Structure 1
Amino acid sequence: MDGRLVVIDMQRAFRDETEWHVPRFDEAAAAIDKLKEVFPSAPVYTRFVRDEAEAGSWRSYYDRWNGMRLPSEASAWDLVVEMPEGAEILDAPTFTKWGPELASLIPEGERMILTGVSTDCCVLSTALGAVDAGRYVTVVSDACAGTNDEVHGQALALMQMLSPMCDVATLAELL
């Protein structure tokens, strides 16, 4: 399988019954486990970790989601998926995980295979950042989960509109 598998924010904060709970988290995790077996290089995992400084509009965001105003070392930010040896872990206090660190792991011309949560937030913003940087992205629809099925589908439709820069495929289609 060509490309680099990137797993977005598979953390307790989104699996557990929190304000940010993603209902189909476990289904996405099962699909990600299948994908991990077919990639030659170790996956890249990301973690959303709150920046306690809450600069700019982040203060208003956390006013809305006050229950998630957790310290950066809180267990809610722990990854809950089994990581293979050699896996990279990148932390970011932003929705997008695309930046210099991730860009250095996805060379130009290599496809990023994108999975994780939430489709309508961090997955979408990461895909957009990568596409803007000229990377090819494939979003695995059933290895992602959104805040609900409707917005999950809407986010996938938005990303598919960017084809051929960003494609959407099911696990079965990809395998």
Structure 2
Amino acid sequence: MSAREVLMLIDMQAVFARPPSPWASGQYPGAERHALRLRAAYPDERTAITRYLPPDPVTGAWVPYFEAWPFALDPAQADYELMPGFEPRGATLIERTTFGKWDATSQHAMGDPDAIVLAGVSTDCCVLSTALAAADAGVRVRVVADACAGASPTDHQRALDAMALYAPLIEITDTDAVLRGSLPA
């Protein structure tokens, strides 16, 4: 474990957890159970919680995207609140209108970590986008496969397989392996 490793919990929000949202993942309950174990093991000052919010106004390539997913712009249909157990408390809150949550602002807000542990939803979208950007920035990334949920089991695995191609910058691991390692004090 790096002296400057941070846990990033990606978009553990109702819109990705609860049907009838079309973005809800059937894998969410299992991922949530493991992500909560990680949250309990990392101190708040070494944890970042991210939250996706739709852009306002919608511009560029996002226009046809939200034409395909109009529910996501309707507050009565899309609940972007964090799920219980993922409130920021003393953790860093990162809110973005993008799939990827890694950028220079996020990196600085998290204390410029040299390694991150990623868990959350969706493996094949926001986790993937965050992992690739962080790896490109030279940050070691450990993706906790059992603490992530994809749009489907197939999409989840395809995203893990794609990220595994970035080894050794990105490592695919599981919750037990992370918890067996030395955690930050």
TM-score normalized with structure 2 length? 0.87
Structure 2 counterpart of 1:107: 112
Q: Percent identity?
A: 34
The equivalences for 1:9-158 within 5 A come to: 9-17=11-19, 18-40=21-43, 41-71=45-75, 76-82=79-85, 83=87, 85-104=89-108, 105=110, 107=112, 110-158=114-162
How far apart in 2 are the matches of 1:120 and 1:84?
A: 24
- Residue 106 of structure 1: CA displacement? 5.1
* AA partner of residue 35 (structure 1): L
How far apart in 1 are the matches of 2:88 and 2:104?
A: 23
Offset from partner CA, 1:59-98 (integer Å, 9 cap, x none): 1000001111135x98711000313641111110111011
TM-score normalized with structure 1 length? 0.92
Give structure 1 stretches of 5+ with no counterpart.
Answer: none
- Residue 43 of structure 1: CA displacement? 1.5
SS of aligned partner of 1:76:
coil
How far apart in 2 are the matches of 1:42 and 1:75?
A: 29
**How many correspondences in the alignment?**
173
Moved runs in structure 1, 4+ residues, more than 6 A?
none
How far apart in 2 are the matches of 1:81 and 1:126?
A: 23
Output the aligned Cα RMSD: 1.8
